[in-house]
Amino acid sequence: MNTDHVFVCGSPALDFAATLRARRTVRFEMFATPDRLDAWFVESGMVDAVSPARQADVVRATTVREAVYELITARRLGTDFDDEALAMLNKAARRAPAAPQLTHSGRWTAATQREALSTVARHAVELLSGPDIPLLKECGNPECTRVYIDRSRGSRRQWCGMESCGNKIKAAAYRARRKTTVPSAG
């Protein structure tokens, strides 16, 4: 299984919303195929197994994801929720979520696509109605549009993650400084 999904936002709902990358520039869809949606649900840790997605499941998931992103953005900016996005999220959250089961070897959660999506939607409801709203920030990388929860001391975190964006920005700044320094004649 290809594991290139990134979970740096501090909430499954935020990580889910971030699966459409670089929204302002060259958009990159992480759910390009049904198996990528399956992989996200498992890699997120919300489920251990999920029924194989069909294209209709991808369409449903991306529709809910866009509603979640719109609602997160509204909450972060202090604006009103869009009624259509709100209805879309609540519809997904009303479905039965994935139910963990106890097995001889521990916890195991198998889900249908709709149960997995409901689980994400319920995380979004909790996030958007909870105490972390003031901690929501958008990544400082101009090419990145991930929103994350900044729990750093003094709320000084600037990037969604050091590996994904922080190192890139720092390396680019270093290269820019090196280009502007004039070698000393000596």
Could you tell me which residue, 75 or 168, shows the higher pLDDT?
Answer: 75
What pLDDT score was predicted for residue 160? Answer: 86
Question: What's the CA gap between 98 and 117, in Å, rounded?
Answer: 9
Is residue 175 pLDDT above 60, yes or no? no
Looking up tokens 């319920």 gives: 122
Evaluate if residue 168 carries a pLDDT over 70.
Answer: no
Residue 102 pLDDT > 50:
yes
- 161: nearest Cα among 9, 40, 24: 9
pTM for the model:
0.86
The backbone torsions φ and ψ at residue 75, rounded to the nearest 5 degrees and listed phi first, read -65, -40
Percent of the chain with pLDDT over 70: 86
Q: Note the CATH number of domain 12-180.
A: 1.10.3300.10
**40-62: average pLDDT:** 97
| Contact indicator for 65, 71 with CB cutoff of 8 Å | no
Q: What is the pLDDT of residues 117-133, one digit of tens each?
A: 999 999 999 999 999 99
User: d(Cα 91, Cα 58) in Å, to the nearest integer?
Assistant: 16
CA distances from 25 to 9, 22, 67, 72, 144 (A): 20, 5, 20, 19, 9
Tokens 């990037």 correspond to 159
Using pLDDT thresholds of 50, 70 and 90, give the confidence band for residue 183.
low
The label of the residue with tokens 């009303």 reads 94
Identify the helix (H) or strand (E) that includes residue 121: helix 113-128
| DSSP character string of 67-118 | HHHHHHHHHHHT-PPPHHHHHHHHHHHHS-----EEETTEEE-EE-HHHHHH
Domain ranges of the chain: 12-180
